[in-house]
A = this chain, B = another copy of it.
Amino acid sequence: MTTITGGVTAPKGFRAAGLHCGVKDNFTAPQPEKKDLAMVLSSVPCAAAGTYTRNVVKADPVLLTMEHLADGKAQGVILDSGNANACAPKGMENAKRMADAAAKATGLQPKDFAVCSTGIIGVEINIEAIEKGIPPLAAALSDSAQSSEDAALAIMTTDTRKKEIAVTAEIGGKVVTLGAIAKGSGMIHPNMGTMLCVVTTDCAIDAALLQTMLREVVSKTFNRVTVDGDTSTNDTCVVLANGLAENEPITGPGPDYDIFYEALRAVLEYEAKMIAGDGEGAGRLVTCTVRGAASEDKAEVMAKAVVRSPLVKCAMFGADANWGRVLCAIGYSGADFDPADVEVRFQSDAGELLVCENGQGVVFDEDVALKVLSAKEIVILVTLHEGDASCSCWGCDLTYDYVKINGDYRS
């Protein structure tokens, strides 16, 4: 597997576009320079799979996309940023109008489209702006790397950087390409962060198999990210596979399945880490790895509790080797373990520091601790000494800017 430049337009037969249509204008000062409408389109029908927020309160575009992809087929995705179209008046009507407009502009059917929205909740979306923006959006579709970047920029809210990746792998003698764009942890106004991801690939793969694989990979990537513990109403990850790489279609377990699985996992892990490190107000990417556990599930529960803990997150902001909070978090995670077996280390590019052994503190050099924890990427390594399983989860520090972004916009 090789990482290449580009994003969703890297695989054969995919075009994309992103532009400003005005959805973002309603709730902030007009931002004509901020793109807010994107499309990704395959030249031929695709096997399609999707995973969606587990929140009981699902935005209407999520419900519509679930319906459209239920048969495992789709050809494109239409996305806006600025309004989540969740708990909003005329929500389903407007989500359908987005799909209708996308279909009309491309000569396809509404059900060929997944619809994704991210932004403010509870406010009617400016559907007129979207309907006006879709024909020029369709006209701008191109297979250039710039087009993928335009789409990646057009789905950002408070994201500070685009989240694009492309990889290639060889499957049955053919070069297969995967590309993705994602956004995470953003809001443009009083709102919650949402996470969206579109993956394109020219791999030929059975739709039902792709759905099963996507669910498993998401559980090991996006579902291991937490910025603040708040699961949004709009989270969506869609994969479109158009088969143009002409590989022998993947229809079950085997080497081809394994190679594609690993490529998809790498793509989603990259996007997951990008989202964690670009969490609202974040200064550092914080990874917690729990190893030596009796099972991966248990390691995951413990690692997730650590990266979610506000106290751990504040300590990471302060570059403070406060390992007591790590022990506290694994202690209330719900997993059972013997505290006397626990070892904790902090790691970064700047070095490694042992802070807790056999469940008790060890003396360490505070200057080294400050150096290790002042890096942009920190790993909290917890070792249990009870088995061979391990798991990493990703989060970020809790900063003044998180509070500012989410609380202070009225001042």
Q: How far is the CB of A150 from chain B (nearest CB, A)?
A: 28
Stretch of A15-23, A27-35, A53-61, A288-296 contacting B (4+ beta carbons < 8 Å): A53-61
A403 contacts which chain B residues (CB < 8 A)?
Answer: 314, 317, 398-400, 402-403
- 16 A-B contacts, Cβ less than 8 Å apart? A55-B332, A56-B337, A57-B330, A57-B339, A87-B327, A89-B361, A121-B327, A122-B324, A190-B320, A191-B325, A192-B324, A192-B325, A230-B310, A232-B328, A317-B407, A399-B407
Q: Is A201 an interface residue (CB 8 A)?
A: no
Interface pair A123/B361, CB less than 8 Å apart: yes
Instruction: Given A192-B324, A328-B121, A407-B320, check contact A314 B233 (CB 8 Å).
Output: no
User: Closest Cβ of chain B: how far from A344's Cβ, in Å?
Assistant: 10
- A229 on the B face (CB < 8 A): yes
Contact of A309 among B230, B327, B356 (CB under 8 A): B230
Q: Mark A98-134, 1 if CB is under 8 A from B, else 0.
A: 0000000000000000000000111100000000000
- Going nearest first, the 6 A-B pairs with the smallest beta carbon separation are A121-B324, A57-B331, A314-B406, A318-B407, A122-B361, A314-B407
Q: Does chain B have a CB within 8 A of A370?
A: yes
**Is there an interface contact between A122 and B406, defined as CB atoms closer than 8 Å?**
no
Contact residues, A354-411 vs B (CB, 8 A) = 356, 359-361, 370, 397-400, 402-411
Chain B residue contacts of A360, Cβ below 8 A: 87-89, 91, 122
B356 touches A406 (CB 8 A): no
New contact pairs (15) apart from A55-B332, A56-B332, CB-CB < 8 Å: A57-B331, A91-B360, A121-B327, A191-B324, A192-B325, A229-B308, A230-B325, A230-B328, A231-B328, A231-B331, A310-B310, A310-B398, A314-B407, A319-B410, A403-B403
Docked complex Cα distance between A57 and B56 (Å): 33
Query: Would you call A222 an interface residue if the criterion is a C-beta within 8 Å of the partner chain's C-beta atoms?
Result: no
- Cα–Cα, bound, A397→B57 (Å): 24
Is A315 part of the contact surface with B, judged by Cβ < 8 Å?
Answer: yes
Chain B, residue nearest A323 (CB): B122
Please tell me if the beta carbons of A410 and B370 are within 8 angstroms of each other in the complex: yes
Question: CB of A311 within 8 A of chain B?
Answer: yes
- Residues in B with CB closer than 8 Å to A120 are 324
State in angstroms the CA–CA spacing of A187 and B337 once bound together. 26
Residues of chain B within 8 A (CB-CB) of A54 are 332
Complex Cα distance, B54 from A400, in Å, reads 31
Contact residue among B55, B325, B335, B356 (Cβ-Cβ distance under 8 Å from A328) = B55
Interface SS of chain A: helix, strand, loop or mixed?
A: loop
Chain B residues lying within 8 Å of A404, measured Cβ to Cβ, are 400
Copies of this chain, complex-wide, total 2
Convert A152-165 into 0s and 1s, putting 1 for each residue whose CB lies closer than 8 angstroms to a CB of B: 00000000000000
Contact yes or no, A55 B407, CB < 8 A? no
Asked whether A315 lies within 8 Å of B229 as measured between CB atoms, the reply is: no
Q: Min CB distance, A190 to chain B, in Å?
A: 4
Within 8 A of B (CB), among A37-88: 54-58, 86-88
Q: Is A267 an interface residue (CB 8 A)?
A: no
Question: Are B56 and A331 neighbours in the complex by a CB distance under 8 Å?
Answer: yes
| Contact pattern, A 174-196, Cβ under 8 Å of B = 1, otherwise 0 | 00000000000000001111000
Q: Does A142 contact B (CB under 8 A)?
A: no
Residues of chain B within 8 A of A123, CB atoms compared: 361
Determine whether the beta carbon of B311 is less than 8 Å from that of A233: no
A329 at the interface (CB under 8 A from B): yes
State A95–B205 Cα separation when bound (angstroms). 63
- Give the complex CA separation of A87 and B361 in angstroms: 7
* Residue A228, interface by CB 8 Å: yes
Instruction: Give, as a whole number of angstroms, the nearest-CB distance from A339 to chain B.
Output: 5
